[in-house]
Amino acid sequence: MSSFCLWNEFELKKPPLVTIQVEETGFAKHVFVEINRYLQQLSTPDAQEFNQTAALIGRLMARRKSSFRTMPGFTSVCKLNEALCRLLRLDLPRELENFRSALPDVCDDELSGEMPTRSSFEYILVRLVSFYHLHERIRQCCLKAARYFGQMLSNNFFMEFLTVLLAAMAKINNISKLQTNNCAKLYNKLLKQRSNFPQVEKHKFLPENYEMPTQLTVIKFPQTPREAKETNPAAVTLNVQPCTVVTKLDRSKKKAKADVGTVIARQKPKFSTETAFQLDSLATVEDVKHFIVRESKARQQSPENCVTKAMQNHEWLSAKTIFERKLKAKEEAKALNIFRKFIGSKI
């Protein structure tokens, strides 16, 4: 049986948890302390958020199963959900609690006591390796799915759904790194105590020629400026410069020094709204009718030179519509007043 198949074997046959009398039990206190510290880490709010976010990913996957089933990124999400389910069914905390309960209550180098067999201890080590590699697979699926759905998000596809999915996978990925490091540290410390546990040939757990990993790699996080300064103070320097206020005069001087080419004088347009049009010219309803006909033609032929060039098409259409409706209702004074006020506020 290869090492891969052993840690990846879900229905792994558990050896019987029996205890044997040993002369020295002092090493057991180190095992107890490390397991107890790790169980406390698993009960932190981050671990609870990990389980809640994993459940959210499962619900999101089920909700959009028909929409994304042909997409490669959805396959990665399905594998991610499967790995999260296997991690839940592994139930590492329960295995550690059962093994911890079999350790002696009083541990001393000069006292004898009942200790679990080496097979039970090796079973715990294999479960830690399984936990470690499952988290590694979870992060790989997160990154693979994030690359695919991130490209879809940049193209404005499924904005709301993909935003929630990517945020959930990012949280899973970050918390997974923490749990992986905690698991690797526990395994590396417990592996040193392996030879101290009593071995029973009858309850042998590991296959022949099987070698446990000598060490699990701890993931290195990017250092913050504070951590970098603590490890190497000379590597971090703060370059603080006084903040200078740049005024408009300074910007104009810099712009004058720059080579901007030859300055060409610009002439004002022939038709100026301030000189060519006066609001008092709309004194009667007939004046407004002539203005509407003339301005409608000007907006079609030369929009940049018309009087109402600052008005949008829908605003001009609304002004004409209201004016015509008031005329049909025989409210000529109100139609003239409304149109004059509307045009005066826009030009």
Local structure of 108: helix, strand or coil: coil
For the chain, the domain total comes to 2
Residues 222 and 175 in one domain: yes
Distance, in Å, from the CA atom of 129 to the CA atom of 132, rounded to the nearest integer, reads 5
Residues 331 and 197 in one domain: no
Distance, in Å, from the CA atom of 14 to the CA atom of 12, rounded to the nearest integer, reads 6
Report CA torsion sign: 125, 80, 10, 7: negative
Residues 198 and 338 in one domain: no
What's the pTM value of the predicted model, to 2 decimals? 0.60
Residues 279 and 226 in one domain: no
Within-domain flag for 249: no
The pLDDT value given to residue 235: 41
- Helices 28-42, 159-191: axis angle to 10 degrees equals 170
Among 45, 22, 172, 42, smallest CA distance to 95 is for 42
Within-domain flag for 252: no
Within-domain flag for 268: no
Which range of residues forms the domain containing residue 101? 3-235
Within-domain flag for 296: yes
The pLDDT value given to residue 277: 66
Half-sphere exposure in the Cβ direction for 145 (13 Å, CA): 27
Residues 306 and 228 in one domain: no
Find tokens 């610009």 and name the residue.
266
Among 48, 39, 35, 179, smallest CA distance to 121 is for 35
The pLDDT value given to residue 3: 43
Q: What is the DSSP string of 166-187?
A: HHHHHHHHHHHHHHHHHHHHHH
The pLDDT value given to residue 255: 61
Angle at 88 between CA 86 and CA 91, to 5 degrees: 110
Contacts of 71 (CB under 8 A, 6+ apart): 148
Residues 141 and 278 in one domain: no
Give the DSSP H/E element, type plus range, for residue 93: helix 92-101
Residues 130 and 66 in one domain: yes
Amino acid (1-letter code) at residue 184: A
Residues 139 and 210 in one domain: yes
Give the DSSP H/E element, type plus range, for residue 85: helix 72-90
Residues 117 and 168 in one domain: yes
Residues 285 and 227 in one domain: no
Residues 295 and 214 in one domain: no
Q: 74: alpha, beta or left, given left = phi > 0 and alpha = psi -120 to 50?
A: alpha
Give the DSSP H/E element, type plus range, for residue 20: strand 19-22
Distance, in Å, from the CA atom of 200 to the CA atom of 198, rounded to the nearest integer, reads 7
Angle at 58 between CA 57 and CA 62, to 5 degrees: 115
Within-domain flag for 221: yes
Answer for the pair 282, 288: CB distance below 8 angstroms, yes or no. Answer: yes
Within-domain flag for 267: no
Residues 282 and 159 in one domain: no
- Profile the chain (347 residues) by mean pLDDT over runs of 10 residues: 56 82 83 91 83 85 70 82 88 90 75 84 91 93 86 74 86 92 94 87 75 87 54 41 53 60 50 54 83 84 81 82 83 83 78
